Amino acid sequence: MPMSETDLRTHAEEIHDQFSDRLDVTVDEIEERLETLVDEYQVPVSEARRSVTNTYLDEAGMDRDDLMGGGGNETKQVADIDAAEEWIDITAKVVELWDAQSDAVAQVGLLGDETGTVKFTKWSKSDLQDLEAGAVYSLRNVVTDEYQGRFSVKLNRTTTIEDVDEDIEVGDDSVEVEGALVDIQSGSGLIKRCPEEDCTRVLQNGRCSEHGEVEGEFDLRIKGVIDDGEDVHEVIFDQEATEELTGIELEEAKEMAMDALDTSVVADEMREKTLGRYYRVRGPTLGRYVLVNEMAQLTDPADPESALIKARSI
Amino acid sequence: MSSTPTREVARRVFAREFNDATYTFKESDDERAPVYVLLPTGQRANRVFLVGTLTETEDVGEDSEYWQGRVVDPNGDTFFTYAGQYQPDAASMLRELEPPAYVAVVGKPRTYETEEGEVNVSVRPESINLVDEATRDRWVVETAERTIERIQRVGGDSTDEYVEMAREQYDEGVTGYKRMVEEALESLEAEQAEASAD
């Protein structure tokens, strides 16, 4: 999206304010420098602003820390990340480090602050210091990304990493939903997944949409719908959660399918055991799904008293 | 992201109000557009979730099996549900279940006009499941709460589209439903008191 003149003008004015008592520079000059970077060199505005600011820092003999508001990025909390391709600063703890699946990625894992967690990727070519699990860092100039409704941050060549000497109590971004399980959708029960490395796609009639006909590995899953009469929530139970919900374990499910020469008996049995009952589930969201980590069937006796008081007071 | 058609919420409604919901409408001229019944308390419903006592099942089909199930709520009012060859799972549940039993039904409201010009409202089940008494009790309280909320809205100065539609389509008003909700809750309280006295 092209940057409008007025936006650059605003950036120029802000930079001008930061240096006006140290340097003899006009808003027009600053705007011109920004324009050159943005229009001719196609540099993102945040980068252009950073570059121009650095130039003036050098000229004024100042440090970045001397400036109010740093490099002009917004400092965000993890839960507030709600758009892709934003340049932001965050202070977060390394909650988990995962195995990088590609040489292009130096480190990948989960960052967290009080408001929740977010995936991060650090590129090999960015040549940044290694992050340590459990450590807290101030990260400036990371860029946000989005994939299927989930946000992540990417550390890049321009990112600065500073150790922060304080701990963060990482918040839980899980959601909780409660209601009746009104549907178990197709693709639930005993399923087969593609065995190719890093694929795990669910097979349709023995075929993977990516790798064609493959042997397949058995797994359990439920794609369900929890409905409280006001809203519907689509929820996914992985193997462990499905076993807990239904009391049917993978081995047993395989035997059931073998006896019946049909895998659909497993989903049928699961429907019979769970549909129409009330549950409370909890877990992180992925796109429109809640990935169930914890669950409880609501079996405590319902109390009519408070509803009765409400009804009588109408 | 491609737009996913939003799934219709399963509304909670007692049988008396459900059976009164004789006015149906569509939101568009599209032949496949969902049909809604308008609840007299001012909400559209394209799906319902109900839990009650299955008191009777009967194959009322002539050429092929067509099962009728009667599901009774705490007020003694009856939901009628019908399942035939296009609802094989629900039909076989109705064939196999031995009344009386608590059942949970998810389904679509359907209306049918009799030769006498009366409109009957029934449920075409998506699923029928055997459940326990605790689930039934929870449904009664939940349905009472949802119904109270709707009564308050329709009795207030809400200008909600469906509230206004209900004021226009139904002359009876909603005071009867307030009493119905109270009775449902009172009977649940009495049941619970009896159970704890045993």
- Please check whether residue A301 touches B, CB under 8 A: yes
B63 inside domain: yes
Minimal CA separation from A291 to chain B, in Å: 18
B10 inside domain: no
> Shortest CB distance from B9 goes to which of A229, A276, A312?
A229
Is residue A66 classed as helix, strand or coil in its secondary structure?
helix
B114 inside domain: yes
Copy the structure tokens of residue A26: 């006009």
Assembly ipTM: 0.94
For domain A175-297, give the fold. OB fold (Dihydrolipoamide Acetyltransferase, E2P) (2.40.50)
The range of the structural domain enclosing residue B136 comes to: 15-188
A305 with B189: Cβ contact below 8 A:
yes
Going from the C-alpha of A239 to that of each of A85, A234, A251, A271, A295, the distances in angstroms are 35, 17, 11, 16, 13
B5 inside domain: no
Residues in chain A with pLDDT < 70?
1-6, 64-72, 148-149
B193 inside domain: no
pLDDT at B157: 85
- Please check whether residue B141 touches A, CB under 8 A: yes
Is residue B61 classed as helix, strand or coil in its secondary structure?
coil
> Shortest CB distance from B131 goes to which of A231, A234, A277?
A277
Query: What tens digit of pLDDT does each residue of A90-103 get?
Result: 999 999 898 887 88
A304 with B139: Cβ contact below 8 A:
no
Does residue B167 contact residue B154 with C-beta atoms inside 8 Å?
Answer: yes
Helical (H) or strand (E) element with A45: helix A45-60
CATH topology agreement for domains A74-164 and A175-297? yes
Copy the structure tokens of residue A192: 């087969």
B162 inside domain: yes
Residue of A nearest to B12 (CA): A229
Q: Which residues of A139-174 are buried (b: 16+ CB within 10 A; e: fewer)?
A: bbbbbbbeeeeebbbbbbebbbeeeeeeeeebeeeb
pLDDT at B7: 92
B3 inside domain: no
Residues in chain B closer than 8 A to A227 (CB atoms): 9-10, 49
Torsion of CA A163, A165, A166, A171, to 10 degrees: 10
**Of residues A25, A91, A17, the one with CA closest to residue A55:** A25
Strands B43-45 and B48-59: unpaired
B133 inside domain: yes
Question: Residues B162, A312, A230, CA angle at the centre, nearest 5°?
Answer: 35
Query: What tens digit of pLDDT does each residue of B148-182 get?
Result: 999 999 988 888 999 999 999 998 889 999 999 99
> Shortest CB distance from B10 goes to which of A229, A272, A300?
A229
Q: Tell me the C-alpha distance between A272 and B142, whole Å.
A: 22
For domain A74-164, give the fold. OB fold (Dihydrolipoamide Acetyltransferase, E2P) (2.40.50)
User: Which residue ranges make up each domain of chain A?
Assistant: 5-66, 74-164, 175-297
CATH code for the domain of B76: 2.40.50.140
DSSP string, B7-48: PPP-B---HHHHHH---EEESSS-TTSPEEEEETTTEEES-E
For chain B, what is the domain count? 1
